[in-house]
Amino acid sequence: MSLRTRIGAVLASAVVASGLVVAVPGTANAGAYGCAGKFIKSWPVHSMWRTLGDVRLYYNPKTKTSCAVVVKRKAYRDKKTSMSVRLYNQTWAGDNSNKYNVDTDSGKFKHYAGPVKVRGKSSKGKKYKVTIWADISYGGERGRRDVSGVWSH
């Protein structure tokens, strides 16, 4: 082993032993927001003057569950503000008594609202219709986004 290799190994061991290892945060994924499964699509949430955040939709084929979150853009994560997200499965509307087809999260959040989850069941195969309503308030402005559609999973 060369001197350079030995010095590198000793320095690496010292850094690990001293606890100076810094974890670098990765990009946000589905699990980061409490949604498991495949990312399907996102839509911006606009106020009159700016884009405050994004609505993100995920689908887990193992559990046949759709999941949505509304996430503030980085510039607006400095304080808790009113946010809400609601997800509704229009294809399977007959099971509201078991709360499988509608879910809502609202309150004051710094980063994101959700996750909200609904189960899917459709005679159309792998597709069913969902509607998402999302709101973000910040600095006297309110952004709202409503999306509805059928997406392939």
C-alpha dist (Å) from residue 147 to 43, 86, 134? 8, 11, 9
pLDDT the model gives residue 60: 87
Task: List alpha helices for 1-151, DSSP H.
Answer: 3-18
Asked whether the predicted pLDDT for residue 96 surpasses 90, the reply is: no
pLDDT the model gives residue 95: 55
Condensed to tens digits (0 to 9), the pLDDT of residues 103-153 reads 999 999 999 999 999 887 554 555 678 899 999 999 999 999 999 987 665
In angstroms, the CA 137 to CA 140 distance is 7
Average of pLDDT values for 39-66? 93
Asked whether the predicted pLDDT for residue 22 surpasses 50, the reply is: no
CATH 2.60.40 fits 28-150, yes or no: yes
pLDDT band at 43 (very low <50, low <70, confident <90, very high): very high
pLDDT band at 56 (very low <50, low <70, confident <90, very high): very high
Delimit the domains of the chain by residue range: 28-150
Query: What average pLDDT is seen over the chain?
Result: 78
Share of the chain above pLDDT 90, in %: 50
Cβ 33 vs Cβ 46: under 8 Å: no
Average of pLDDT values for 76-96? 84
pLDDT band at 35 (very low <50, low <70, confident <90, very high): very high
In angstroms, the CA 105 to CA 84 distance is 6
Long-range contacts of 75-80 (CB under 8 A, 24+ apart): 76/52, 76/136, 76/138, 77/110, 77/111, 78/110, 79/110, 80/108, 80/109, 80/110
pLDDT band at 89 (very low <50, low <70, confident <90, very high): confident
pLDDT band at 32 (very low <50, low <70, confident <90, very high): low
